[in-house]
A and B are shown apart, each in its own frame.
Chain A
Amino acid sequence: MDALLLLSAWLSPLLVLLLSLRQGRGVWLALAALPALVTALMVPAGSQVEIPWLLLETRLGIGEHGAWWLFFSALLWLVAACYTQLWMAAQADSGRFRLFFLLAMSGNFGVILAQDLVSFYLGFAVMGLCAYGLVVQGGEPEQRRAGRVYVWMTLIGELALFVALVMIYQRTGSLSPSPEQLAGASHLEVGALVLAFGIKAGMLGVHFWLPLAYSAAPVPASAVLSGAMINTALIGWINFLPLGQQTMPLWGALMMVLGCAAALLAVPAGLMQRDPKVLLAYSSIAKMGTLVAVIGLALREPALAEGLILAVVFFAVHHGLAKGTLFIGVGLVTGATSRVGLRLLALPALAMVGAPFSSGAAAKGLLKANLSHVDPLWGGVLLGVLLLVTVGTTLLMARFMLLMNTLNGSESSPPYSPLAPWMGLILALLLLPVFGGLSAGSLLDLVLIIAALVMAGVVLRCKPGFLVGWIGCLPPGDMVCLLERQGLIIHRALKLKLKRLKLQREAWPVRCDGLPDLPVDSVWQRWKLRWNTRQGVIESGAVQATLWFGITLLLLRLLVTGG
């Protein structure tokens, strides 16, 4: 029974693939996510199914935190699927969207369920590449650009993961290595893992695809991208880094520095945005930055790893759920004329901030509890960053609500936009702290939140020019613009060179055997000239034949003397 459930959770999106392609068959998308939901509830942790003939000995199962990941990811996919019909039905290409949606869903569940290296890679690759189809759905130039950046970053991440997995397999000799076997990782392996999943997690330096993709993708897609797919990075780190087995001070420090920097820098970057989806993306970079830093800490302090991992899982689940809810909320509120949605949107926003008794407060409480034993320097830094992130997130959410207030009803509403599935998500978010330990949050946090809100209010009222002037100064995707400019310069330079070469070729449109009489002053230039003619020296018949003849002669001579 367990085996059947595990399989159906993984395969049901693929099974309904053909059924869902026709126009108006969006209901299959929602059905596809149901088995995963049931599996998360019914199948006990530690159960496994082995399929030796599939790929290289596939193993599916529910790992230690598998049920958590699976349940909340499936919930998000389910609700996103419910809304797909709403936003996508009118589009001609919606069949293509549903196809990629289901494939990415299956990949996502596959990552969570995979207990061996190859099926993990399969899930990660399928999810990553198929999400491209979701990002570019709109077909506008900016979406194509976002898709381009996304797909290249994803591909780099997948290649880095390939390197890491090959090294893990070669080292441990097992396709499903136990945590103990992971000890003894090399720098290259850990570096590849950090890069591979860092890209997915939006780690500073490789984060720039995230604001582009989140804002380009249609609402349901950005909800699952930001809520479910981003968490696969954490699953990967928890599965494959030697956490709790080995100290990796260097990589740990790097992750902590990058994570803390992201948590701090992403806040002003987000505040400068006008598009609420981009703002949410920067908020994701900040939150994931915190988690990257915590993973880095676990790499430095193996003794505390277990508690920290638990905190990361809960934090990630909370963040994913809240972020997904916010993204769907963006779609609902911009499309709705009533203000009910806007008011409800405040709930996930408050959860993000970490208001008392919210899932955010619970997540933060769990994290802080585990930070208390850490060595004072790094622990202190992290605690400080957490406080700053609280302020930053509050400001971000205040600005987000403000933006949503102006955007309320700005787009023509779909004829029928039910709030019920979305409210289900909000309900899950409200209930979440019950499982993670209800927490009022610390007094300091509360004071900071209120202070930040007051600050936001003051800014809103006075609109000081030295702050407001910054809005819109930072293009979404920040670094990518720089990179693109550099790329363009190189591209142009190359093109120019090619053009020059081409001109040269056109000037002497001759084969190699008929070089023009030119004042060529050196043998080298003559050779270069030959190279630039149409065939190129290697591929031209005459030279080649001579070469061959020479080699044959040489070898024959060797045959006579040596043999």
Chain B
Amino acid sequence: MSAGLNHWLLPLILGSSLIPAVLIFCLAEDNSRLRTVLNLAGAVAKMLLVGVMIWGVFNEQIYETRWTFAPGMDLVLHADALSVLFVTLSTVLWLLTTVYAIGYLKKTAHRSRFFGFFCLCVTATVGLALAGNLFTFVVFYELLTLATYPLVAHKGTAEAIRGARIYLAYTLSGGLLLLVGAVWLRAIAGPLEFSQGGILGSIAGLDPDTLSWIFLLLIAGLGVKAALFPLHGWLPQAMVAPAPVSALLHAVAVVKAGAFGIVRVVYDVYGVEFAADLGVLLPLGVIAAVTIIYGSIKALGQDNLKKRLAYSTISQVSYIALGTAILGPSATVGGLVHLVHQGLMKITLFFAAGNYAETLGVHHISAMDGVGRRMPGTTLAFTIGALGMIGIPPVAGFISKWYLGIGAAEAGALFWVMPVLLASSVLNAGYFLPILYRAWFKPASADWASEEPHRGRFETQGMLLWPPVITAGLALMTGLFAGAPFSPLEWVQLIAVREYR
């Protein structure tokens, strides 16, 4: 392997979605074949490049690319174990979502615009994952905000535009807070290169109070995207977006970017032990706990399937923040591995919700009676995702919950974390089990509103069916084979070992 490739690998990974984005914008609307080829070629190329990167990082190879913007302002791409985790997740799910989106948006208008921004959105997500310092992170974070707006508003209805506006208002103000925090921190602590174990702990002479305030700013800024209570208001509104967008939004792109940012700030800027000394972890943990419960309670009351899933995301993503807020390697493992597990499970649920809407015209839970018989593959995938969310083994969610529980016990925080985990499990069961019951055990009440004439041998188009089935399989396998080499769990344990070294 040449030094050239090492230098260019990360820009190439970004380029593999940026270049298709630019090309797709230039394409004519009806040139769907070329657009599909570009999309898939980009996604596959990214997958291969990421494969190379995983192998390299596993062998402690260093990939770094640096452009100096202005003196002291470097745009840095850097691959460490944590970024690999997130990049891999987004790459795999991007490929599947692209396939799904192609099937979902067949014969609708503005597809060039859609896929262009779709690619941009992934570019921003991957860039944010590979960001080597806080400045680069903020740049991609803002880019992500802007690239996602047209996707949320894609349908162009009044409701969609309203949802997108709310989204923009929230995330831009969040971005502003993040920017203020980052600049402030830069001013007092110098360049903020992410490094495992944190950087602030080793800089002498910083005022702890100031650092706590900056922490608040950063977390508030990131918390908007991560949908921490009370900054979550945009997420249920943004579910007006088409299903593939919601899927990507909830599983990898926006919400995860916020959660990933929190992880970065706590582990690689402040350092988890230093943050614990500052006393900022407990408030973060409490907010996460409140969000977990609040999201679940709100989810109980929703009849719109996507809205229920949206509130469920609010709740589940906070597991990551919760794991981050508890000091100790097991909690770190639990939080980080949920980054992947929640992504796999939630994308499955959104794909399935999209399938019900697209194939049967079913948007509401009350209309889901008997869908299991009509769409067994989709419903099976949905079932796996839902059981995983409740935390039932062997689906991946159980592994996250297990490590969070162990981590809480290690840190002596069992008395408040365990009730949160249990309440969340009960509430998850409360809003998922009735859906499963309707789908599998109730007879179909009437004909479905807008069932398309059934063609082909599957319950719906293959391009809609296979993505949820594959992601459900992945969610099942990451749980079942959690102890296998290169499973997310193993990888996260590698990160945790390096973090607490």
Chain A residues within 8 Å of B, Cβ to Cβ:
52-58, 96, 118, 121-122, 125-126, 129, 136, 139, 151, 155-156, 158-159, 162-163, 166-167, 169-170, 538-539, 541, 544-545, 548, 551-552, 555-556, 558-559, 562-563
Q: Given the complex, which residues of A lie within 8 Å of B406, measured CB to CB?
A: 166, 169-170
Chain A hits for B484, CB < 8 A: 53-54
Q: Which residues in B have some Cβ–Cβ distance to A below 8 Å?
A: 166, 169, 173, 176-177, 180, 184, 187-188, 207, 209-210, 213, 216-217, 220, 230, 233, 391-394, 399, 401-402, 405-406, 409-410, 414, 418, 422, 425-426, 429, 433, 440-441, 479-485
Contact of B401 among A56, A58, A162 (CB under 8 A): A162
Report whether A136 and B441 are in contact in the complex, using a CB–CB cutoff of 8 Å: yes
* Chain A minimum-CB-distance residue to B394: A122
- Distance A122 CA – B418 CA, assembled complex (angstroms): 19
User: With A and B bound together, what is the CA distance between A57 and B433 in angstroms?
Assistant: 29
A52 CB contacts on chain B under 8 angstroms: 483
Given A96-B440, A563-B187, verify A552-B180 contact (CB < 8 Å). yes
Q: Are A155 and B429 in contact (CB under 8 A)?
A: yes
Most buried by A among B166, B169, B213, B483: B483
- Interface pair B402/A166, CB less than 8 Å apart: yes
Quote the shortest CB–CB distance from B222 to chain A (angstroms). 15
A118: B residues at CB distance < 8 A:
393, 402
Known pairs A118-B402, A125-B393. 17 more at Cβ < 8 A?
A54-B481, A56-B402, A121-B393, A129-B392, A136-B441, A139-B441, A155-B426, A159-B422, A162-B401, A162-B425, A166-B402, A170-B406, A538-B230, A539-B233, A555-B180, A555-B217, A562-B213
Determine the chain A residues whose CB is within 8 A of the CB of B481 once the complex forms: 53-55
Knowing A55-B394, A545-B169, A552-B176 touch, does A162 contact B483 (C-beta < 8 A)? no
Nearest Cβ distance between residue B41 and chain A, in whole angstroms? 34
- Taken together as a complex, chains A and B put the C-alpha atoms of A221 and B409 apart, in Å, by 38
A318 to B213, CA, bound (A): 67
At the interface, is chain A mostly helix, strand, loop or mixed?
A: helix
The residue in chain B whose Cβ has the minimal distance to the Cβ of A136 is: B441
Shortest A225–chain B CB gap in Å is 18
Instruction: Determine the chain A residues whose CB is within 8 A of the CB of B482 once the complex forms.
Output: 55-56
**Most chain B CB atoms below 10 A, which of A126, A162, A551, A556:** A162
Q: How many whole Å from B292's CB to the nearest CB in chain A? A: 15
Given the known inter-chain contacts A162-B401, A541-B169, please indicate yes or no for A559 contacting B184, CB distance below 8 A: yes
Residues from chain B with Cβ under 8 Å of A158 in the complex = 392
A562 proximity list for chain B (CB < 8 A): 207, 209-210, 213
Q: Which residue of A lies closest to B181 (CB)?
A: A555
Supply 27 A–B pairs (Cβ within 8 Å), ascending by A. A53-B483, A53-B484, A54-B481, A55-B479, A57-B483, A118-B402, A125-B392, A136-B441, A158-B392, A162-B425, A163-B418, A166-B402, A166-B406, A166-B409, A167-B409, A538-B233, A541-B169, A545-B169, A548-B173, A551-B177, A555-B180, A555-B213, A556-B180, A558-B213, A562-B209, A562-B213, A563-B188
In the assembly, what is the distance between CA of A134 and CA of B457, in Å?
A: 31
In the bound complex, do residue B166 and residue A56 qualify as a contact, i.e. CB atoms below 8 Å apart?
no
Question: Closest residue of chain B to A122, judged by CB?
Answer: B393
Rounded to whole Å, the gap between the CB of A59 and the closest CB of chain B is 11
**Interface contact A166-B405, CB-CB below 8 Å:** yes
CB-contact partner of A544 in B220, B233, B401, under 8 A: B233
- From B230, B393, B484, residue with most partner A Cβ within 10 Å: B393
A538 contact set on B, CB distance < 8 A: 230, 233
Q: Is B213 within 8 A of A55, CB to CB?
A: no
Hey, which chain B residues are within 8 Å of A121, CB to CB?
393
The CA of A3 and the CA of B443, in the complex, are separated in Å by: 43
Q: Which residues of B contact A139 (CB under 8 A)?
A: 441
Q: Give, as a whole number of angstroms, the nearest-CB distance from B444 to chain A.
A: 13
**Residues of chain B with a CB closer than 8 A to A544's CB:** 233
Please state if A170 and B393 are interface contacts (CB–CB under 8 Å). no
B196: min CB distance to chain A, Å: 24
B410: chain A residues within 8 A (beta carbon)? 170
Chain B residues in 8 Å Cβ range of A159: 422, 425-426
Distance in angstroms from A53 CB to nearest chain B CB is 4
For the complex of A and B, the 10 pairs showing the least CB-CB separation, nearest first, are A170-B409, A53-B484, A166-B405, A122-B393, A539-B233, A53-B483, A548-B173, A538-B230, A159-B422, A562-B210
In the bound assembly, the distance between CA atoms of A474 and B451 in angstroms comes to: 49
Our pick among A55, A166, A551, A559 for the contact of B393 (Cβ within 8 Å) is A55
By a CB distance below 8 angstroms, the chain A residues around B207 are: 562
Q: Which residues of B contact A162 (CB under 8 A)?
A: 391, 401-402, 405, 422, 425
Q: Which residues of B contact A55 (CB under 8 A)?
A: 393-394, 479-483
